[in-house]
Amino acid sequence: MHDAGAIARLRAFATLDESDFQQLVALAGPSRIIDRGEYLRHEGDSPPGLYLLIKGWMASTLTFNDGARQMLKVNLPGDMLGAPSLAFSAATDSLLALSEAEVKPVPLRMFGDIFRHSAKLASLIFLVSLEERVMIMDRLASIGRTHTAERVAALMLHLHDRLIRTDPTIGTEFDVHLTQHDVADLVGVTTVHVNRTLQKLRTQRVLDWRYGRVKIMNREALVELAGLPPRHLSDDVSWLPINDHRPTHPGSWR
């Protein structure tokens, strides 16, 4: 079940067969549990590592030289953690547990083997990386060009879209493992201002966010506030080798 969650994002672009599945399962190392509030790794750590988030919520954060902290991304189960840092000699961001979380380290050599042996899986991983870029582009636009209420609306829709992808039964009410301080760090304002903004949204009957539980009261209003167009994953990536079947030869793997 956990592994199924971990490959859900790849399956959004193509169906995976048994051979694909085995290669991905092979990535999963021993589990590690991280308490809420603790860091899996800090920015600057070298060399950067790669992880698979199995359970719980985590966040990628960046700290300025004056101590200010910006949260760059919320990671949900099935997400890869730490990938962007792989292009650099040291970790570019810190990985923080927003709730108790379970992660599995992925040896880089084993991750590289995917690119070595499966054009299909490499293609899908590339697509997910592109998807991540668009997610952060949308967040950047939201933070750069809108006020706090709009940013919160965009964040909430973003989270809801991502949660509903792994659990379609989620309705308009669901748990969000973020404190108001976390939200502040995500949307780039202070905790005090987040608090006032949430109260305003509640009064306006748009969004009710209390005690870690969210209730979407007026989705249309949220969409209008967020101001961003809806995003739909491509349903045709046949130009990538996603249908090739290059048999795996386990013996040749290291």
**List of residues 6+ apart from 203 with CB closer than 8 A:** none
CA 245 to chain CA centroid, Å, is 29
Nearer to DNA, 70 or 218 (CB): 70
Whether the CB-CB separation of 75 and 53 falls below 8 Å is answered with: yes
Rounded-to-integer distance, Cα 43 and Cα 37, Å: 16
* Residue of 3, 45, 100, 138 that binds a second copy (CB under 8 A): 138
Give me Rg for the CA atoms of the chain.
19
- Among DNA, a second copy, none, partner that 133 touches (CB below 5 to 8 angstroms by kind): a second copy
Rounded-to-integer distance, Cα 43 and Cα 138, Å: 23
The sheet carrying 50-55 orders its strands as 32-34, 101-106, 50-55, 80-81
* Residue of 192, 213, 238, 253 that binds DNA (CB under 7 A): 192
CB of 6 to a second copy, least distance (A): 18
- The footprint of DNA on residues 27-46 (CB under 7 A) is 37
Whether the CB-CB separation of 69 and 39 falls below 8 Å is answered with: no
Rounded-to-integer distance, Cα 138 and Cα 203, Å: 27
- Among a second copy, DNA, none, partner that 4 touches (CB below 5 to 8 angstroms by kind): none
Nearer to DNA, 14 or 216 (CB): 216
Nearer to DNA, 175 or 244 (CB): 175
- Tokens 């965009």 identify what position? 154
**Residue count, binding to a second copy (CB under 8 A):** 70
* Residue of 112, 164, 192, 253 that binds a second copy (CB under 8 A): 112
Site string for a second copy, 58-77 (x = CB under 8 A): --x-x-xxx-xxx-xx----
The residues binding a second copy (CB under 8 A) are 13, 43-44, 47, 60, 62, 64-66, 68-70, 72-73, 83-90, 92-93, 108-109, 111-112, 115-116, 119, 122-123, 125-134, 136-141, 143-146, 187-188, 224, 227-229, 231-237, 239-241, 244
